[in-house]
Copies of this chain bind each other. A is one copy, B any other.
Amino acid sequence: MHEAKGPSRRADARRNRERLLAEAQTTFAEHGTRASLEQIATRAGVGIGTLYRHFPTRQDLLEALLGARFDTLTATGRTLLATRPPEAALTEWTHAFVTATTTFRGLTAEVARPLDDETTRLHASCTAMREVGAELLRRAQESGTVRADVSPADFFVLVTGVAWAHEQCAPDAPERVARLLDLLFDGLRR
């Protein structure tokens, strides 16, 4: 659903693109989303010009990485929708969401942007992900375990807030996320 690029590119170009993405992934994980692009290029063994030809802005690079994550979350959500009871599906998916958006510092902020900004190239895959999340929420509400007056938008804002807070304050306290999400879901339950 992503990656619809025609195979019209030269072999070296495709190879370099992959290496850049791989190095960007690890470098962002180490230094956060503001890591030096020159360093990413060097690590990938290409010139800075090549990086900028493939990804004209930092956003473009981040978006290429994020798109994959969103698509994965969408797929996970569909699976949970089909195999798990409403409430468990929602809580499990939320945990996956927080985990996916906490892999490197600054990512949460990037995830938050396309939630509201329709001009982003990410908007499509982000919307797909949101829809699955909204569906999971709706089912939990219909089954009566989650209060009905919570909008999908508010739900995402709250969960993203928890993800951000966790990213900031306790990168090394895995049990805290669980506790905070529990607290949050207690508020959401009717």
A contacts, CB < 8 Å to B: 109, 112-113, 115-116, 150, 154, 157-158, 160-166, 168-170, 176, 179-180, 183-188
Q: Which residues of B contact A154 (CB under 8 A)?
A: 176, 179-180, 183
Across the interface, do B184 and A157 meet the contact criterion of CB distance under 8 Å? no
| Cβ distance A172 to chain B, nearest Cβ, rounded Å | 11
Q: List 21 A-B contacts (CB under 8 A).
A: A109-B168, A112-B169, A150-B183, A154-B176, A154-B179, A154-B180, A157-B166, A158-B162, A158-B165, A160-B169, A161-B161, A161-B162, A161-B163, A161-B164, A161-B165, A161-B180, A164-B164, A183-B188, A184-B184, A184-B187, A187-B188
Q: In the assembled complex, which residues on chain B have CB atoms less than 8 Å from the CB atom of A179?
A: 154
Cα–Cα, bound, A185→B165 (Å): 17
The minimal Cβ–Cβ distance linking A98 to chain B, given in whole angstroms, is 11
Supply 6 further A-B pairs (C-beta < 8 A) apart from A113-B168, A158-B161, A158-B162: A157-B176, A158-B165, A161-B162, A164-B164, A184-B187, A186-B187
